Structure 1
Amino acid sequence: MSACRSKDRSSPTITVTEAVTVQSALTAPLSAAEPATVRERIAGLAREASYEVAARDARGIDAAIARLSPGTLVSVTWLPLDDDEARVLASRRLREAGFEPVPHIAARMVTSDDHLQRLLRRLCDEAGVRQLLVISGDVKQASGPFEDSAALIASAAFAQPALSRIWLGGYPEGHPKVDHATLNATLDAKIAAVRALGMTPGVITQFCFDADPILRWLLDFRARHDVPVRIGLAGPAGIRTLLRFAAICGVGASARSLVTRSASIARLLVDTTPDPIIRDLAETAAYHDLQPMGFHLFPFGGLDRTARWMGSVAAGGFELRASASGFQVTE
């Protein structure tokens, strides 16, 4: 997985007044008619969710073809051991199966302007790619001239007529080494740069295990931008698997809350699912202020398992828990 996107992490700087607004959004009481509305929102968000798969994950691509609805956005991750041939072939297979392939382009792993030009041309011409996810890449030393995703976007190679949308990374839990104001300014600049290319920007966020930082980040972002946001969620997986990826990707505070929720030995032995976050975001009083919003699934437990779970949710096969904490899939 290229779930970690270093130095592209964006997180809010929130005033006291805004903090009160966020807390009110989280705790606002629901009306008697809300449960049906919440169910409708949850099912709708599940139907429109996007997913990701590794270029060489033939089983994952098979699962996407078998389980997902035509037109679903499926991002193709950039892993260091993959080559451009694998990236193009995976994207082409997804396109031919009726999906919307969104290959990741990792700035620090692109070796030259010529490499970028050739790769983008092949993705567009051979795989029908119209959208990209631009990330910095999780390596300390750049392989070529691009130090970060902003430098990549500035390349003339992005002047591909077929490209219509560039997705950028968003990070609700921020970055431990870069202050929030700088991160927000960087994301704002990249959104402007994408628009200057005549393309539509969008944001796909890092996965998170708690709705609170997501809501804070989203409300702050919505004060500045109306571009589509897809909230990263970890698909069903064992807690040890999730904690391993959280450690790799620097997902800290919400991972600790995940441990708290799964403290018993019994809970450690079963899958953890993202239903608490999905429900919290679907029933918040600020729901309409967050739009356009969707979900992007990181299938750490396998794409087939994730797609089956989300498919049940999309079909309405779930019940809201009386405890107001998530929901239970019933089919």
Structure 2
Amino acid sequence: MIGHDAVLADLSIELSAADLPQVQEAAARLPGGARVHVTALTTETHADRVATASELVTHGLTPVPHLAARRIASAAALGASVQDFAHAAAAASVFVIGGDPRTPAGPFASALDVIESGVLARHGVREVGVGGYPEGHPAIADDVLWDALARKSAALTDQGIAGSITSQVSFDAPAVLAWIARVREHGIMLPIRVGVPGPMGVARLLAFARRMGVASTASLARKYGAQLGGMLGTADPDDFLDALFAGLDTRVHGEVSTHLYTFGGLGATLDWIGAR
């Protein structure tokens, strides 16, 4: 089983504004200064996210607010959002995603557009996280993904902003390791956080996996190493992380750490971390 130090090494985790009542508990159970992503859900307001980020700062954690490019109406609106987080001492690090709307609300159709606009740099953002896709994207061609990732990395370097990549969920450790090696072969040396789902019910995990293209319980067990004994049980990422850490070679893969998605609930993920 993976060790405590491996799990906690530069760990990041995510929550939503709905988890605000659990921030104090999270602070007591995470390393001081741990990065905590504040997701940009359409069911929550910008003010909700700012309040959550402020509470994370109060409790000694490092908030990483998400900015959804296609939901931003203008460069001025982007600047105002960052400034709101800055007033809460929560704008040093942000994570930029494309967002769900098919039609952009303003001039930003992608995370790359936000970064290349220079707005983040002008408002004092010092670190920007971007997404990565170990098994591709259903709506974006691979060559487009690789070009965009390289351009994001170059733009951040040119603006003097530190960058990092957080991968979307994959249930296949060898595929993730191969993708990280390809990132490095493309000359992209940003630190990588491998996105891993925290523990959740088997039925929920399987439903999520099917949306990711994993067709059956047997296939999920083979890829993820999950012990799926029954639909009422719980699956955790231990086997996946064992395989990932066993295959990592810093000479090939560079700087790699873990990002935990809390699909099964923040409390369950905190319990899992504490048990390592």
TM over 0.5: yes
**CA offsets, 1:20-55, max 9 Å, x none?**
xxxxxxxxxxxxxxxxxx95xx43231122100002
The one of the two structures with greater contact order (alpha-carbon pairs below 8 A, sep at least 6) is 1
**CA distance 1:255–1:296, shift in 2 (3 Å):** farther
Structure 2 residue 234 is matched with structure 1 residue 271: yes
**CA distance 1:291–1:311, shift in 2 (3 Å):** farther
Unaligned runs of 5+ in 1: 1-37, 314-331
Q: In the alignment, which residue of structure 2 is the partner of 1:43?
A: 4
Residues paired across the two proteins, number: 271
Q: In the alignment, which residue of structure 2 is the partner of 1:69?
A: 31
**CA offsets, 1:263-289, max 9 Å, x none?**
96x432211111111111211263553
Q: In the alignment, which residue of structure 2 is the partner of 1:304?
A: 267
CA contact (8 A) 1:104 1:134 kept: yes
Secondary structure (helix, strand or coil) at the match of 1:57 reads helix
CA contact (8 A) 1:67 1:304 kept: no
Unaligned runs of 5+ in 2: none
- Structure 2 Cα separation of the partners of residues 255 and 148 of structure 1: 33
Cα offset, 1:114, TM superposition: 1.6
What does residue range 190-205 of structure 1 map to in structure 2 within 5 Å?
A: 190-205=152-167
- Structure 1 Cα separation of the partners of residues 226 and 37 of structure 2: 30
Q: Which of 229, 234, 238 is the equivalent residue of 2:192?
A: 229
**CA distance 1:254–1:54, shift in 2 (3 Å):** farther
Secondary structure (helix, strand or coil) at the match of 2:63 reads strand
CA contact (8 A) 1:47 1:311 kept: no
- Structure 1 Cα separation of the partners of residues 256 and 215 of structure 2: 20
CA contact (8 A) 2:127 2:163 kept: yes
The residue type paired with residue 167 of structure 2 is T
Structure 2 residue 93 is matched with structure 1 residue 131: yes
CA contact (8 A) 1:167 1:204 kept: yes
Q: Please, what is the CA RMSD of the aligned residues?
A: 2.2
The residue type paired with residue 177 of structure 1 is A
Cα offset, 1:254, TM superposition: 8.6
Q: In the alignment, which residue of structure 2 is the partner of 1:21?
A: none
Q: Which of 7, 11, 14 is the equivalent residue of 1:52?
A: 14
Q: In the alignment, which residue of structure 1 is the partner of 2:206?
A: 243
Secondary structure (helix, strand or coil) at the match of 1:132 reads strand
CA contact (8 A) 2:177 2:247 kept: no
The residue type paired with residue 212 of structure 2 is V
TM-score (norm 1): 0.76
Secondary structure (helix, strand or coil) at the match of 1:280 reads helix
The residue type paired with residue 133 of structure 1 is F
What does residue range 249-328 of structure 1 map to in structure 2 within 5 Å?
A: 250-253=211-214, 257-258=219-220, 266-284=229-247, 286=249, 288-313=251-276
TM-score (norm 2): 0.90
**CA distance 1:127–1:259, shift in 2 (3 Å):** same
Structure 2 residue 172 is matched with structure 1 residue 172: no
